[in-house]
Chains A and B, each alone.
Chain A
């Protein structure tokens, strides 16, 4: 019986303290706990929370695509008193009912990094324009290859993922090849793309995919990769085949490890995105809502910068030093 008394007192104490708590409670739900991009986003949110005096709860799905895990996290955070939910949705459509339920309870929901479908389902979106990120590296690749006929391999994420499709299709459009528009979830494959493999954003799987693509067509001279770990894997495969000097590798992310790879010549160009900015903007919006009741709205492009070691005529890129200054991750 003593245990029950202690438990009851604890619950009452917590309830009392939360009633008197001045700190706004903000929940951050990422796709996974293990992708460094989300780890940094979480750190950024917690740092901003400390600065502005907000309590940041964090949660995630188990794997990329785990919608149920995100719904559970959202319900738990709202029960714990969160008035703002920041979420990188694993599934753009399936999360909508849970968002609607949250909003009906007066909770502001902001999407970070990936949009929901429809975009209007959330109060606000702070994200990278992933299509634009693809376009920038596509344009750079075109300038880098010049007159050479492109023989392209794409190391994508996995089928049906909106971010994967946007970056892939944006890259092809930026290069000037036949592509699909930014709303499509399918991967375009013009004839210049001789091989498409799924890397799941993983270095080892990217390496395997690149090896198999090279086996299919040893003449590949341009590789688009979904993110920098996949690019690192692709480079390993090219190096083993002795082709690393003649092949251009482009990627997206702009993490510090990736920028190091740009400096080292592993990645030719990458589109840098800003997870810390998304997180801090989200936390600031949450604090604003808690204090003034004013909700954030609309789409704010948190920016994407093309980083390359060598600049190409006609393409606006920033150098490695800028990339390093702005990178996310361990410098």
Chain B
């Protein structure tokens, strides 16, 4: 086919409007959220003392940290969906949740009457944490990747990894409302392990799915 003809054909299709990637991602996450929530409610459910726990700042901090990760992931994902985008100037957003956990650890250190730090770090729910966060994240990750296929990223594996971070942030938010380990030391130890697994899956899937 001559290029001239292809151009004329493309011009005939000029009226077709594609949904912006941000809208597609929002719709995808809203559709996948009930799946993850249903998994969460049927397997774990919220901790019974959730009302009293809400008065504990270290319980609340978990949500601030996981939501900060999810929001940073969403912002970077949408940025990376553009062909000319790179991570430069945007990666610092991911330091926000890290900084928040470190602040939490410092604050907890200053509290009187603590259990030994190793007890707090190991906690009671480590195996559940490391398996449940990836489980609740996967439906969100699949939806996010499908939406991001509408984008045009120059870095498919990286974009997939960031999609992993955003879905792990959301999955961890669910899990955090079940888990009775509120110590920032626990959060800083086991959550990243679970998040790393989701990120790796995202990178591997993204490499294939996000090429354009």
A-B interaction: no
Q: Which chain A residues have a beta carbon within 8 Å of chain B's beta carbons?
A: none
